[in-house]
């Protein structure tokens, strides 16, 4: 799941990015309000982590612009202050949650997961197809009850295919949604990744539609 992180303090932005990566998300970091406004309004994200104190355009203004433009992704506001009036302003602007600096990354991840679940993007912590079970809360994968050890990148690929099961996903779409912003995968990287996963899963779960992409199909009725 792609998460937009809007934070101009480099160390905080890097810490959030690392925590999100470790939790299986795909974070994209921007550092000013104008870029955030444009990117949040034109790209598809599961949620945004938005600092209030930003250069060019403050976080509350960015949020108001998004809501006026019907950008409905859940937004968690970050601020160095914890005043009652600022919290009210954030809620009035359309924020879904609020976190005061300094905070524990574990709390940010837990609350962000809750936002995504409530939004309907992640309807259940477990997804199943053809004997495969992926648990997005425990970050575990199993096939026919047997645990399968996967890398964070392999987990994100399975997660994306399961969220879109029954639909063919092109290599380009997969790369956009599972690789981080600063990564430039080779042209055959997705093919290699899928091949490695198939060997680990030991089951025909990921199908190929040659010339179009990959899919995990819906289970056929018994």
CATH value at residue 11:
3.40.50.2300
Residues 208, 25: Cα–Cα separation, whole Å: 25
In whole angstroms, how far apart are CA 85 and each of 6, 21, 68, 88, 90? 22, 33, 22, 5, 9
Q: Same structural domain for residues 90 and 7?
A: yes
pLDDT at 121 over 60: no
Residues 137, 140: Cα–Cα separation, whole Å: 8
* Domain membership of residue 188 as a residue range: 126-215
Q: Same structural domain for residues 89 and 132?
A: no
Task: Walk across the sheet containing 140-143 and list its strands.
Answer: 126-129, 132-135, 140-143, 146-148
* % pLDDT > 70, the chain: 88
Q: What is the pLDDT of residue 194?
A: 93
Rg for the chain (alpha carbons), in Å? 19
pLDDT at 34 over 90: yes
Last-in-domain residue among 95, 119, 143: 119
Q: Same structural domain for residues 6 and 109?
A: yes
- Give the chain's mean pLDDT: 85
Query: What pLDDT band is residue 12 in, cutting at 50, 70 and 90?
Result: very high
Q: Same structural domain for residues 135 and 161?
A: yes
Cis peptide before 102 (omega within 30 of 0): yes
**Surface-to-core class of residue 166, CB atoms within 10 Å of its CB (0-12 exposed, 13-18 middle, 19+ buried):** exposed
Tell me, yes or no, if the pTM score tops 0.85.
Answer: no
CATH value at residue 185:
1.10.10.10
Q: Same structural domain for residues 30 and 133?
A: no
């Amino acid at each position: 799941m792609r998460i937009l992180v809007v934070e101009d303090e480099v160390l905080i932005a890097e810490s959030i990015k690392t925590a999100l990566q470790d939790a299986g998300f795909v974070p994209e970091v921007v550092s000013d309000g104008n870029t955030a406004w444009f990117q949040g309004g034109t790209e598809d994200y599961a949620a945004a982590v938005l600092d209030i104190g930003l250069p060019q355009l403050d976080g509350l203004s960015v949020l108001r612009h998004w809501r006026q433009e019907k950008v409905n992704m859940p937004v968690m506001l970050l601020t160095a202050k914890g005043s009652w009036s600022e919290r009210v302003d954030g809620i009035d602007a359309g924020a879904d949650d609020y976190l005061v600096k300094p905070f524990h990354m574990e709390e940010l991840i837990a609350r962000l997961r809750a936002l995504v679940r409530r939004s309907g993007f992640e309807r259940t912590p477990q997804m199943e197809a053809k004997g495969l079970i992926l648990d997005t809360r425990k970050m575990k994968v199993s096939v026919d009850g047997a645990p399968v050890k996967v890398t964070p990148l392999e987990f994100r690929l399975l997660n994306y295919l399961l969220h879109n099961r029954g639909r063919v996903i092109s290599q380009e779409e997969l790369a956009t949604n599972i690789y981080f912003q600063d990564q430039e995968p080779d042209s055959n990287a997705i093919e290699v990744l899928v091949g490695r996963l198939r060997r680990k899963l030991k089951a025909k779960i990921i199908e190929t539609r040659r010339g179009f992409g990959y899919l995990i199909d819906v289970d056929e009725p018994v």
